[in-house]
Chains A and B, each alone.
Chain A
Amino acid sequence: TQLLEQSPQFLSIQEGENLTVYCNSSSVFSSLQWYRQEPGEGPVLLVTVVTGGEVKKLKRLTFQFGDARKDSSLHITAAQPGDTGLYLCAGGGYGQNFVFGPGTRLSVLP
């Protein structure tokens, strides 16, 4: 069974600070996706990474896929209150459905 772990589980920071959240597994994934979920809503896809070592940037968000495709990180620069939410990583393999991690709940205080 493929499992994903995310850390930290909770994170509360001040507006303007930087942060990194992690997604780790003992399994290899062909792709990994990051989602943000707000209360009462479904997850919204932020990015998909597919190549080991790949780095993708989305404005103030930087995503990295580990060289061995077992882990990933999400770095947010100068966090804003609008970044508040549950950040989920999901690993996918060909012919398999996505396996989600438990999420990191981020709170950015003004």
Chain B
Amino acid sequence: ETGVTQSPTHLIKTRGQQVTLRCSSQSGHNTVSWYQQALGQGPQFIFQYYREEENGRGNFPPRFSGLQFPNYSSELNVNALELDDSALYLCASSPAHRQGPNTEAFFGQGTRLTVV
């Protein structure tokens, strides 16, 4: 089975631009969550997608948006980029949208976004 893959691995954007990050979930997983990890910090939950609909959102502004496709892959879109958006963006897939005791999330390697 394939793991979680993210693209691109690195990206440099200018303040004010828009960016789209992509994630392919692990085979058999229907839920995708996105996290932002700033340098030296733990991952912060952005939002989760289940069956192509947003299923929970963290404390991030509306310029952070997403999509999930019928094959369960997902995109994270960020508009009007700010310098503080520079971070590692992680995608995690899991087989269920409700975190039970045996629900495991598998992370991709992340996309390193730098905003200049």
A, B from the same assembly: yes
Q: For residue A98, which residues in chain B have a CB less than 8 angstroms away from its CB?
A: 45, 99, 105
CA of A109 to CA of B106, assembled, Å: 29
Q: How far is the CB of B57 from chain A (nearest CB, A)?
A: 9
Is A110 an interface residue, CB under 8 A from the partner?
no
Is A100 an interface residue, CB under 8 A from the partner?
yes
Q: For residue A42, which residues in chain B have a CB less than 8 angstroms away from its CB?
A: 4, 90, 92, 107-110
Q: With A40-B109, A95-B98 given, can you name 17 additional A-B contacts, CB distance below 8 Å?
A: A31-B100, A33-B104, A41-B110, A42-B108, A42-B109, A45-B104, A92-B99, A94-B99, A95-B99, A97-B56, A98-B105, A99-B45, A100-B35, A100-B43, A100-B45, A102-B42, A103-B42
CA of A41 to CA of B37, assembled, Å: 11
Q: Which B residues fall within an 8 A CB radius of A?
A: 4, 33, 35, 40-45, 48, 56, 58, 90, 92, 98-110, 112
Q: For residue A100, which residues in chain B have a CB less than 8 angstroms away from its CB?
A: 35, 42-45
Q: For residue A40, which residues in chain B have a CB less than 8 angstroms away from its CB?
A: 109-110, 112
Is A21 an interface residue, CB under 8 A from the partner?
no
Count residues on chain A whose CB falls below 8 Å from chain B CBs.
28
Task: Give A92's nearest chain B residue, CB to CB.
Answer: B99
